[in-house]
Structure 1
Amino acid sequence: MTSSASLQPPVADRRPTVRTFHGDDVVDAYEWLRAKDDPAVIAHLEAENAYTQSRTAHLEPLRERIFQEIKGRTRETDLSVPARRGDWWYYGRTVEGKQYGIQCRAPLASPDDWTPPSLSPDVDVPGEQVLLDANVEADGHEFFSMGSFEVSNDGALMLYGIDLEGDERYTLRVRDLASGVDLDDVIPGTFAGASFSPDGRFIVYSTVDDAWRPDTVWLHELGAPVTSDARLFHEPDERFWVGAGFTRSDRYLVIEVGSSITSEEWLVDAADLRSAPSVVWPRREGVEYETSHAVVDGEDVLYVLHNDGALDFELVRVAAADPLGARETVIPHRPGVRLLGVSCFRDWGVIGYRREGLARLGLLSYADGSVDEIGFDEPLYSVGTGGNPEWAPPVLRIAYGSFVTPSTVADLDIATRSLMVRKQQPVLGGYDPEDYGQERVWATAADGTLVPISVVWKRSFGSPGSSVRPLHLYGYGSYEHSIDPGLSIARLSELDRGVVFAVAHVRGGGEMGRAWYEDGKMLAKRNTFTDFVDAARHLISLGYTSADRMVAEGGSAGGLLMGAVANLAPELFAGILADVPFVDALTSILDPSLPLTVIEWDEWGDPLHDADVYAYMKSYTPYENVRAGVAYPRILAVTSLNDTRVLYVEPAKWVARLREVGADAMLKCEMVAGHGGVSGRYNSWRERAFELAWLFDVLGVAER
């Protein structure tokens, strides 16, 4: 048997090209790997996969154990909590041995039935109809993803969009649910999120441009040729995405246009979809807003959440017929309380917000604008709405969970404010939340900023700090995206081996409000990286772990974070796991022909036209800053050939460059997958088992 030490990694050819911007010449030896159709590129990626497989072959028994642990803790045959829509309860099934879910429905017991049926995997559901079995649709394909799924209001038709490549371009079809036969309407190349019109006569969908930007909204009349579809809206500005959907009231079609910093909405009368859209508020650079329609005292109104002069947003109410007219302030701006979203029902609304680093939900009174917060006892938790398609329900469906509490679905009775738990995610194998602890600690950044860190552990190994433990530190820190508490079944395989899991809530995310995001983007992006480094140092100083017992992980923009900290503080980590990592950011953001580049300028800056941004990005982008003479930690980069968001070439180039300077770096490239990795739950579990086995190997975690 060949030892791992004797295995030789593939060596990518050096084919230098010169990139020149702002008088700066950069020699790039590996840009040729961008040619996805070049057989030499595919051969190199396959050689990387073969090397990674050989290097990790000794972990196969461990991978299988982890996979079986994930599988053994998961109720494979299960049902989701039914959600009421029209005359039906809609829910999903999973079946042991099958990769994908099955979409089903069952009839209401009566029009007044608001208590979802308690479903059992072993008991037949009276009147159940299988709407779509994704296992059947995926049969014979290596990849399967569904981007649109909706049933018409009358329950007669179903639309669904399928991607079989991983490039997030979906072919849209319509099925007659009485006969089970697909109609002749087939629309290729759509984006996710198509919708039926309220009367079921039309489909509203969007398409993307060559840079994978959703830019056009279309109206398709069922039975008509696709070539006759009407273009409802087109956005020529390459910085803006476009999407569309109907209000819960079915009164309007809302066309949403947005960049990272600016948004605009247009309304179309749902009863006359061919009428011209009318703008709510004309776009103004740097102003974001979103609307939700309600009827108050017989008048159509819009609740508008906006940041015009309100950093953490405020909520106002305007007349739908005259949205530029008088604004009534409902929730004024409160610094440090970041309003996240508003959702209107017939008699009340729901406001989502973030305070003290945690997501919150409150019921909104139309009469006086008061907010009644829905409270929970745990120190760390996450909460949100879900499964509320009806306009006038007596209950609000919410989802709740924490690092130790399994995902919980509950209905809040609006009249009594009582919370009725409908289901909690089953965790098999005798899981007890009391066996695990969670806490928040605070690191002090170099500029004095306090950076929150969430920590979860298994109590039987002792409290963090009682002994030096292996630690898995996760981070993201971009796009104002927050990493909220949630239980992961796969993570239990770590905790049960004594690994402490932590999340560094670094600047660039949204955990601490809009200012937290602003302080970690554009020309303040370095704060994201230094916050993560300071968090790692703080955990070491607390005695939770040591540098030789800590692995860092991040994906996508969090993969950029991983590459940056590998250069900034390689001595702090034993290993770095980078999923679909954005590690050649400057090269990508300089090329407006690449997918999403122009849109990304609002997040990172425009290095193509601004020399200062160019110099700043060049100072931190991972590929640009790999250095000789540095003792890098072990690195595993995972990517996908068909990813349209972070191209495979970025980690491929990064790994090649790391190897030049002697780093122990490996690349794993899924040859049939997109940004989200492999499809199918069993495939996903095996993928995570592969990553965790590598992580345990780096940490030196002994088997139980």
Structure 2
Amino acid sequence: MYKNWNYMIIIGAMTISCSDNTKENAATWPNVTAPVAEKKVYERTIHNDTIVDNYYWMNDYFKKGPNSAEVIAYLEAENNYTAAMMKDTEKLQEKLFHEMKGRIKEKDESVPYFKNGYYYYSRTEEGKQYYKFCRKKGSLDAPEEILLDVDDMAEGYAYYAAGGFSVSPDNKLLSFGVDTVSRREYTIYVKNLETGALLPDKIDRTTGSATWANDNKTLFYTAKNPATLLSEKIRRYTLGSGSAGDVVVYEEKDNTNYIGVGKSKNGKHIMIYSGGTLSSEVRILDADQPNGTFKMFQPRMKGVLYSVTALADKFLILTNDGAKNFKVMECPLDKTAKEHWKEFIPHRHDVLVSDIDEFKDYIVISERKNGLTQMAIRSLKSGTQHYLNFGEAAYTVYPSTNVEYDTDMVRYGYTSLVTPSSTYDYNMNTKERTLKKQQEVVGGYNAENYITERLFAIAADGTQIPISLVYKKGFSKNGKSPLLLYGYGSYGMSMDPTFNSSRLSLLDRGFSYAVAHIRGGEEMGREWYEDGKMMNKKNTFTDFIDCAKYLISEKLTSSDHLYAQGGSAGGLLMGAVINMAPALWNGIIAQVPFVDVVNTMLDDTIPLTTNEYDEWGNPNDKAAYDYMKSYSPYENIEAKEYPNLLVTTGLHDSQVQYFEPAKWVAKLREIKKGDQVVLFKTDMEYGHGGASGRFDYLKDVALNYAFLFKLEGITE
């Protein structure tokens, strides 16, 4: 059936209007025949419930099944269809790409940070997609050492990601990870910084980062399962020893947990962390004794999360034990079990404690209050505490690169919807702050030309849902202006308001942009997350719908001009809200969308599935199965009109496999009514995060914006 796919993409000599589209600003689309996916009956039976899945065969490329070639042919046919439907926007896409690329300072340099006698930084060069990782010894006036030239390393690769840079304590060796497939499976290499040569040591199937012991020859790293990509083992590798020196020091038996290994900032401890959504556990080792045995800090406790920060004379423990929004405990260095924990910072019902950054004489506490981030500075000598103050209604602040332990200086990042990313150094003793760098928007940018607001929608159950909004001065609040509403709402990940220079191309053409801070994130505290997960998941979707209705009621837009966007779990959000309220939106952009919830959560061979049971539920349990089936976008497609859709994915995606959106699109085309378009684009070379170069991703942004502009009749 698929051999002649390309012949099905027939572009008519004339264009036709979507005559059945009831939206007032119906776009004009070319007369192109959409691909029709073949049906191959597959039955799923569980809990005495039998479902026919006609598109299950699309898993075959991932499963290396007999239909693999047909899957690729179908994806390519969809790509051809999307290209044909968007052909009249090609010049606009090109213009948008160069417009957005033109705002990026091509020759640039990060703010150097100091560690163990060296200043480290990265710099980019004009016309280059990647960067160079560099250092200077002792002074910024010293000669530059290029540690890694990623521009050169990436030559010949369609995708190239380098990360996890870690320099040995004696400053002579550099470990780093490389992924050339975009499945977040890295090979670790080690470079001799004195000779410039790569060591013969090479470690495959890792998360990409390694932790040095203090002997400068022992590395601890996280190994991945080659099939599920789960992080399942912590291994110790001794340089030059080959496989004999690569041993397992910890194996995680609970496949719902993620694991990792790191080093305390003071350099004294190697720590293994194992954690899921509901509980966690830490093991600890003297960094001077890499061949020793890791000591249990405190065995995992049901429903209790904790993490450990090492100070010179004690450990601090950030935990939710009896404290939904977390509290900070302390314990002696040699007595770490829970019975030795004492309260250091008490629990507060209105403040979420999210992180601790340690220094010799201070700790910096990252918190959330009323949906906004804040930073508290606490003196370890006096116990006094003060907060950094910011002057905007909606903003994001976060600790930046702080690798030095014995310093009074904390570096933090600051941004908002109208403030470009800014890096500050703050003296915790004198309380003086210094702006080290603000993102330069090439071609000029004046924040005074844009307005940001913080609004609150009222959910059906009376809960106030924060919304961050930005628009250009002159934006008309008459109900006829276009608005793009973004959302995520899962895993406790907060979608804080940040600046994006690419977004100016949207705002300057009359759009406003809003972020709905819906439940499932953690913007308003831990309870905000728990009220949007598992058997409360539908709150995420209804919150987003209520935010949209509020924006319409405030005349910021109308359903004829309202658009929504989300990716990954935010793509699930997109799929759910168009099933629940399809008439509310004129267009939807769903990126790498997690839309086949039940089938994915039933298949524990799919990467990361078992890690997600505490987020979505385990469908082998009937109650969880029934609930997720009631909202899973793929399971709930109906014969009704849907908004215009642009769906994107990556063939090598390890987070959300390509077949979820592919099946969803095929089923939508089969069942839906109306002439609203469904466009589907698969990037055949990339994975979950898209392109690796610093400019290539803008082509995807240009396509997204061109789709919105086409629906609005914007051609320039």
TM-score (norm 2): 0.93
- Is 1:616 the counterpart of 2:632? The answer is no
- Is 1:593 the counterpart of 2:618? The answer is no
Amino acid at match of 1:626: I
Local SS of the residue matching 1:185: strand
8 Å CA contact retained: 1:232, 1:274 = no
- Is 1:693 the counterpart of 2:709? The answer is no
- Is 1:540 the counterpart of 2:557? The answer is no
- Structure 1, unaligned runs of 5 or more: 110-116, 118-124
8 Å CA contact retained: 2:368, 2:523 = yes
Residue of structure 2 in register with 1:565 after alignment: 577
Aligned residue pair count: 681
Give identity over the alignment, percent.
41
Residue of structure 1 in register with 2:436 after alignment: 422
Alignment counterpart, residue 273 of structure 2, candidates 239, 256, 262: 256
- Is 1:449 the counterpart of 2:466? The answer is no
Residue 582 of structure 1 and its aligned partner are, at CA, apart by 0.1
Amino acid at match of 2:649: T
Residue of structure 2 in register with 1:647 after alignment: 657
Residue 700 of structure 1 and its aligned partner are, at CA, apart by 3.0
Residue 164 of structure 1 and its aligned partner are, at CA, apart by 0.6
Residue 613 of structure 1 and its aligned partner are, at CA, apart by 1.0
Residue 326 of structure 1 and its aligned partner are, at CA, apart by 2.7
Task: Provide, for residues 267-306 of structure 1, a one-character-per-residue CA deviation record: whole Å limited to 9, x for no partner.
Answer: 01111112111111210121001110002xxx3x111010
8 Å CA contact retained: 1:187, 1:226 = no
Alignment counterpart, residue 177 of structure 2, candidates 161, 165, 189: 161
CA distance in 2, matches of 1:623, 1:367: 57
Structure 1 residues 388 and 164, CA, compared in 2 at 3 Å: closer, same or farther?
same
Amino acid at match of 2:187: T
Residue 207 of structure 1 and its aligned partner are, at CA, apart by 0.8
Residue 200 of structure 1 and its aligned partner are, at CA, apart by 1.6
Local SS of the residue matching 2:375: strand
- Is 1:437 the counterpart of 2:467? The answer is no
Alignment counterpart, residue 339 of structure 1, candidates 319, 340, 353: 353
- Is 1:27 the counterpart of 2:52? The answer is yes
Amino acid at match of 2:250: F
* 1:547-562 to 2 correspondences below 5 Å: 547-562=559-574
Residue of structure 2 in register with 1:522 after alignment: 534
Task: Provide, for residues 341-394 of structure 1, a one-character-per-residue CA deviation record: whole Å limited to 9, x for no partner.
Answer: 112111111111100101111112224544311111111111111111111023
Structure 1 residues 200 and 666, CA, compared in 2 at 3 Å: closer, same or farther?
same
Structure 1 residues 694 and 617, CA, compared in 2 at 3 Å: closer, same or farther?
same
* 1:37-48 to 2 correspondences below 5 Å: 37=64, 38-48=68-78
Structure 1 residues 449 and 309, CA, compared in 2 at 3 Å: closer, same or farther?
same
Local SS of the residue matching 1:698: helix
Task: Provide, for residues 224-278 of structure 1, a one-character-per-residue CA deviation record: whole Å limited to 9, x for no partner.
Answer: 1034312111111111111000000111101000011111111011111121111
* 1:360-371 to 2 correspondences below 5 Å: 360-367=374-381, 369-371=383-385
Structure 1 residues 699 and 369, CA, compared in 2 at 3 Å: closer, same or farther?
farther
Runs of 4+ in 1 over 6 A off after TM superposition: none
Alignment counterpart, residue 684 of structure 1, candidates 685, 694, 697: 697
- Is 1:626 the counterpart of 2:637? The answer is yes
Task: Provide, for residues 516-538 of structure 1, a one-character-per-residue CA deviation record: whole Å limited to 9, x for no partner.
Answer: 11110111100000000000000
Residue of structure 2 in register with 1:187 after alignment: 203
Alignment counterpart, residue 218 of structure 1, candidates 235, 254, 258: 235
Task: Provide, for residues 487-533 of structure 1, a one-character-per-residue CA deviation record: whole Å limited to 9, x for no partner.
Answer: 00110100111100001111101100011111101111000000000
CA distance in 1, matches of 2:601, 2:671: 25
Task: Provide, for residues 288-337 of structure 1, a one-character-per-residue CA deviation record: whole Å limited to 9, x for no partner.
Answer: 01110002xxx3x1110100110000011111210124322121110120
Alignment counterpart, residue 469 of structure 1, candidates 465, 475, 481: 481
Residue of structure 1 in register with 2:19 after alignment: none
Task: Provide, for residues 201-233 of structure 1, a one-character-per-residue CA deviation record: whole Å limited to 9, x for no partner.
Answer: 111111112311101111111111034312111
Task: Provide, for residues 71-102 of structure 1, a one-character-per-residue CA deviation record: whole Å limited to 9, x for no partner.
Answer: 11111110000000112111111111111111
Amino acid at match of 1:216: K
Local SS of the residue matching 2:298: coil
8 Å CA contact retained: 2:357, 2:364 = yes
- Is 1:319 the counterpart of 2:332? The answer is yes
Residue 11 of structure 1 and its aligned partner are, at CA, apart by 1.0
CA distance in 1, matches of 2:434, 2:214: 31
CA distance in 1, matches of 2:389, 2:213: 36
Residue 126 of structure 1 and its aligned partner are, at CA, apart by 4.3
CA distance in 1, matches of 2:93, 2:235: 46
* 1:368-407 to 2 correspondences below 5 Å: 369-407=383-421
Between stretches 244-253 and 171-180, larger displacement belongs to 171-180
TM-score (norm 1): 0.95
CA distance in 2, matches of 1:91, 1:360: 26
Local SS of the residue matching 1:267: strand
Local SS of the residue matching 1:547: coil
CA distance in 1, matches of 2:683, 2:383: 50
Residue 702 of structure 1 and its aligned partner are, at CA, apart by 5.2
Residue of structure 2 in register with 1:408 after alignment: 422
* 1:94-109 to 2 correspondences below 5 Å: 94-109=124-139
Alpha-carbon RMSD across the aligned residues, in angstroms, is: 1.3
Amino acid at match of 1:132: L
Task: Provide, for residues 31-87 of structure 1, a one-character-per-residue CA deviation record: whole Å limited to 9, x for no partner.
Answer: 000011411111111111111111111111111111111111111110000000112
